[in-house]
Amino acid sequence: MWLFWLFIAIPIIEIALFIQVGGLIGLWPTLALVLLSAVIGTALMRSQGTKAWIEIQRSFNELRDPTAPIAHGAMILLAGALLVTPGFFTDTLGILLLIPGFRSWAMGQIGKRVQVTRVGMGPQRPHEPHRPPYDDGVIDADYVVEPDDLPQAPPRSGPRPPSGWTQH
């Protein structure tokens, strides 16, 4: 139900802000401000998105928990969507989401409401040590059955010639 009220409230807030700002500075400066915030916000989103992507890759390469970099990346993506949406309220929210300190604060607030009950990789059984997810105890292989009656090479007689790898 709260999502319904959010979809109702945001357009009303945006319209009220457009009327107020347009009355103060005029139509063309208001439109220029909205376009300028979209252009600057998109540029900021691209640069911070690139940094977030590099941090996600680094966390995977170093086998660290990628939760925080992924959350930062998702918030940067949301900031971009808010900045492209015309309006002063959504632009303000988008700019706030581009500030790393605000993103960390928002993640802390969301983290208070989220409870992680179990973290693990691969199938785990109680009272058994953790094994990597690819180690399920089954060996997968291909084989060929060769008959036992193949002719054997005759045994070599006499001294062997030098291989060239040693000095004789």
pLDDT at 105 over 90: yes
% of the chain residues with pLDDT over 70: 79
**């409870």: which residue's tokens?**
115
Q: Is residue 79 part of a domain?
A: yes
For residue 68, which of 27, 100, 95 has the smallest C-alpha distance?
100
Q: How far is CA 133 from CA 82, 120, 137, in A?
A: 39, 10, 10
pLDDT of residue 131: 55
Q: Is residue 84 part of a domain?
A: yes
Total structural domains within the chain = 1
pLDDT of residue 135: 61
Higher pLDDT, 126 or 70: 70
Q: How far is CA 142 from CA 134, 139, 145, 151, in A?
A: 18, 10, 10, 24
pLDDT of residue 102: 94
Q: Of 12-26, 70-84, 121-135, which gets the smallest average pLDDT? A: 121-135
Q: Identify the domain containing residue 83 by its residue range.
A: 34-112
Rounded distance between C-alpha atoms, residue 11 and residue 133, angstroms: 48
**Span 149-160, average pLDDT:** 70
pTM of the complete model? 0.62
Range with the largest mean pLDDT of 26-30, 132-136, 153-157: 26-30
Q: Is residue 90 part of a domain?
A: yes
Residue 133 CB coordination number (10 Å): 11
Q: Is residue 117 part of a domain?
A: no
Q: Is residue 130 part of a domain?
A: no
Q: Is residue 50 part of a domain?
A: yes
